[in-house]
Amino acid sequence: MASRQPPPPSSKTRPPRRIRRGAAPLGPNTVTNPNTLSSSSRGGFSPRKLVWTGAFAAITIVGAIYGAGLKTQQEFKQEKQQIIESTPEDRIRDLETRRAMLVKQKMPLERKLVALRERMKAQELEAAAAAEGSSGVEGGKK
């Protein structure tokens, strides 16, 4: 039995193969008509993929909303427990701090409300003047 020997090394070395990125090249037996390809081989979304994607998205959204609700409830319970356990002096101080904060928020809102009422009054006066001016002049353009 004769043993096989590896072929002698050639004097020329092969250059390294080029790294191809992106989609694989189409072979000679590949159909190039996109109408004959199935939806899964086109890279589009098949109904099954859409259902799974929707299911995972729904589960994620519901979980986030439920978790936020649980956290809010837990924070509310902790705050309520702190209020119950606090002394009357602490409660009064907290209420005064809260009142000061609300008064501070109220002032800019009142200024905006006054400005809005003035604009509305000016618009009403302009509309009344326009209606009065157009009804008093005959043949005038409206």
97 in Cβ contact with 104 (< 8 Å): no
Query: Which residues of the chain fall short of a pLDDT of 70?
Result: 1-11, 24-43, 135-142
Rounded-to-integer distance, Cα 105 and Cα 101, Å:
6
Q: Which two tokens stand for residue 113?
A: 């409300």
Question: Are 48 and 80 found together in one domain?
Answer: yes
Helix, strand and coil in the chain, % to nearest 5: 65, 0, 35
pLDDT, position 39: 47
| Total domains in the fold of the chain | 2
* 13 in any annotated domain: no
pLDDT, position 44: 72
pLDDT, position 40: 46
pTM here is 0.36
pLDDT, position 73: 96
Query: Rounded to a whole number, what is the distance in angstroms from the first to the last CA of the chain?
Result: 115
Question: Are 100 and 129 found together in one domain?
Answer: yes
Give the type of residue at 35.
N
Rounded-to-integer distance, Cα 54 and Cα 45, Å:
12
Question: Are 92 and 80 found together in one domain?
Answer: no
Domain limits for position 80: 44-85
